[in-house]
Amino acid sequence: MAGKSGIAPTFGLMQDWPLTLDKFIEHARRWHGTREIVSRFADGHIERRNYIQIYDDAMRISGALLANAIGIGDRVATLAMNSADHLSAWYGIAGIGALYHTLNPRLFQDQLVYIVNHADDRLIFADGMFAPILAALLPRCPRVRRVVFLTPPAQPVELPVPAVALKDFVAGHDGIYPWGQFDERSAAGLCYTSGTTGLPKGVMYSHRSNFLHAMTSIQPDVLNLSSADTILAIVPMFHANAWGLAFATPGIGANLILPGPCLDGASVHELIINENVTFAAGVPTVWLALLDYLDAQGLGLGSLKRVIIGGSAMPERMLHRFRERGVEVTHAWGMTEMSPMGTVCTLTPRIAALPFEEQVPYRMKQGRPLFTVDMRLVDEDGKVLPHDAKTVGHLQVRGPGVTRAYLGEDRDVLDAEGWFDTGDIATICPLGFMQITDRAKDVIKSGGEWISSLEIESAVSMHEKVALAAAIGVPHPKWAERPVLFLTLKPGEQGEPEEFITFLTGRIAKWWLPDAVYFLDEIPVGATGKVDKKKLRTMVTETEEGGLSAVNSE
């Protein structure tokens, strides 16, 4: 807040206590000091720290940054997997009012170059495993002054700027540096969205927005996080703030387990069992790998009780596979522009009282809005649409965790009433459960009506041979667009287009049945693990030459 200078006579008489992120780690240090932060590294070894150490390390990083002339508003990038050092770096950077800018190492080099330069990053904290990326990147990013390695590169690397190990970077900076002496609206973090269209766009979180989002995430109806939990954060810190876990977890004093780059089924299973994990958060692909591993090895999930799944829609079978192992799965939805959570599929008492099979249609929806998120559906003209589970519209959101503008763009992206258009197409049922039916850019418009690519994908994913499915619209002279379906089958499986059309018949509306089914060894995905439908559209136009199999094409 602005401090006493801005106090009006009609204000309350409560303390001025700005919502800055240092409060989370300060609370953990003082009241949950011995709870553990466990990091896994590329070579499989484990390091254990507690919140007192995380605080001390973050303080040292702040000292070193200040000595390197980094201050309020400066951007410091991180190119790293989840680890205690990455966590300390966030707090050390944000504590002095600089911005942690998470780089997604899976982006294409051109995108990373654009992002680093656009953000004006001054310094990069990086895992050694990403040294080759840096070597390619930095000659094109002249304003980056220094690299700090959180973990050592496997081989010596030639970089155009000085590179130093973290312990050398912080050496001698053992003082107490002032944290949080700025307005809570100050920028704290930066994350670029990398859609498959257009240039990446920078979302700039404030201390306040991250703080409030984390406070909300802790609630029983959201992530339900308690000091008794041991939280496995599989979702990368470079993926939309790791869904706020880096703040919520010290805020409640839970143990935090950070898997580093080891996201294969065996590694994740081992961490869950050895660390007595109770709660885990990640995208569907990681869970798929874990569940397949458990099936193959005949293993269970120990003390794991709850899993939150977001990032992309959960296949229905995943719900059942976790349930068979005694784990409650909660579906969630959000986006980088929302800090990131928007809805969580917590059941209402009435739905929770139904038999499980009748709960499934609700559990497969993206869920109900968190308190601090408001949400509505509008049509193409901005008219508000009803919550009747049938009417499909553009999903808009509003709240303290929602972006109002992208970095470097002059204009607000909100409408006159402050609503942000998510780019998603959705329905909302009378009980308030929202269901994404498509991205606006992926929606298939056939004969004047919308076909949901997600519903086609979801339905065909129940076929036992299917590993991944993607439906897109292709131009059609009569219907404007018609759906076609791409499938990747499970290892060793073979199939004919007809059997999937037969499988879908009765599961979706007849006029939604794809006009063609194509098989790919691998469906192309972007850096955030989402299917690259733009590329798929290109592939369809290449069909004649590319020799992909097709049915039903007219």
Closest among 237, 223, 230, 275 to 254, alpha carbons compared: 230
Which positions from 71 through 90 interact with a second copy, judged by CB under 8 A?
72-73
Query: Cα Rg for the chain, rounded, in angstroms?
Result: 24
Counting contacts by CB under 8 A, is residue 414 touching a second copy? Answer: yes
User: By CB under 8 A, is residue 404 in contact with a second copy?
Assistant: yes
* Shortest Cβ 393–a second copy spacing (Å): 16
Question: Closest distance between a second copy and the C-beta of residue 371, in Å?
Answer: 5
Go through the chain and tell me how many residues it has.
554
> In angstroms, what is the minimal distance from the CB of 344 to a second copy?
11
Binding mask 241-280 for a second copy (x = CB under 8 A): ----------xx----------------------------
Question: What is the C-alpha separation between 517 and 523, in angstroms, rounded?
Answer: 13
450 is known as an active-site residue: yes
- Cα separation, 116 vs 351, whole angstroms: 47
118 binds a second copy (CB under 8 A): no
30 binds a second copy (CB under 8 A): yes
Task: Give the DSSP H or E segment for 146.
Answer: strand 146-151
**Applying CB under 8 A, what is the total number of residues that bind a second copy?**
77
Restricting to residues 457-516, name those near a second copy by CB under 8 A.
none
What is 43-107 written as a DSSP string? Answer: TS-EEEEEHHHHHHHHHHHHHHHHHTT--TT-EEEEE--S-HHHHHHHHHHHHTT-EEEE--TTS
Q: How far apart are CA 258 and CA 89, in angstroms?
A: 14
Contacts to a second copy from residues 190-209, by CB under 8 A? 203-209
Longest dimension (CA), the chain: 75
Residue 449 found at the interface with a second copy (CB under 8 A): no
Cβ–Cβ < 8 Å for 345, 368: yes
Tell me which stretch binds a second copy (CB under 8 A): 258-266, 377-385, 403-411, 449-457. Answer: 403-411
- Is residue 340 reached through a cis peptide bond, with omega within 30 degrees of 0 on the bond before it? yes
Could you say which of 78, 193, 249, 278 is catalytic? Answer: 193
Question: Which residues, in sequence order, are CB contacts of 370 under 8 Å at separation 6+?
Answer: 216, 217, 219, 221, 222, 341, 342, 343, 344
Q: Are 82 and 237 in contact (CB under 8 A)?
A: yes
Question: Does 219 contact a second copy by CB under 8 A?
Answer: yes
Q: What does the DSSP 8-state code read for residue 196?
A: S
Element (H, E) at 487: strand 480-489
Q: Is there binding between residue 420 and a second copy (CB under 8 A)?
A: yes
User: Among residue numbers 32 through 71, which ones bind a second copy (CB under 8 A)?
Assistant: 32
- Which parts of 224-243 interact with a second copy (CB under 8 A)? 224-228
Name the catalytic one among 270, 285, 316, 450: 450
CB 145 within 8 A of CB 123: yes
Regarding 3 and contact with a second copy (CB under 8 A), the answer is no
Closer residue to a second copy, CB minimum distance, 254 or 501: 254
Backbone angles phi, psi at 434, to 5 degrees: -95, 140
16 binds a second copy per the rule CB under 8 A: yes
Choose the stretch contacting a second copy; rule: CB under 8 A; options: 140-148, 210-218, 354-362, 533-541: 210-218
The alpha helices in 480-532, defined as continuous H runs, are 497-504
**9 forms part of the interface with a second copy (CB under 8 A):** yes
| Calpha distance 401→209 (Å, rounded) | 5
Residue with Cβ nearer a second copy (304 or 460): 304
Residue 433 Cβ vs a second copy, minimum distance, rounded to whole Å: 10
Q: Which is nearer to a second copy, 398 or 482 (CB)?
A: 398
Taking CB under 8 A as the binding criterion, the range among 113-121, 137-145, 305-313, 398-406 that sits at the site for a second copy is 398-406
In the set 88, 403, 427, 446, which binds a second copy (CB under 8 A)? 403
Q: How far is the CB of 227 from a second copy (least distance, A)?
A: 5
Q: Is 106 in the site for a second copy (CB under 8 A)?
A: no
- 369 is a site residue for a second copy (CB under 8 A): yes
* 328-367 binders of a second copy (CB under 8 A): 339, 346-349, 352
Our CB check for a second copy shows the closer of 218 and 471 to be 218
| H-helix or E-strand spanning residue 165 | strand 163-165
- Asked if residues 70 and 122 have their Cβ atoms less than 8 Å apart, the reply is yes
Catalytic annotation, pick one of 184, 337, 455, 481: 337
- What residues act catalytically? 193, 337, 445, 450
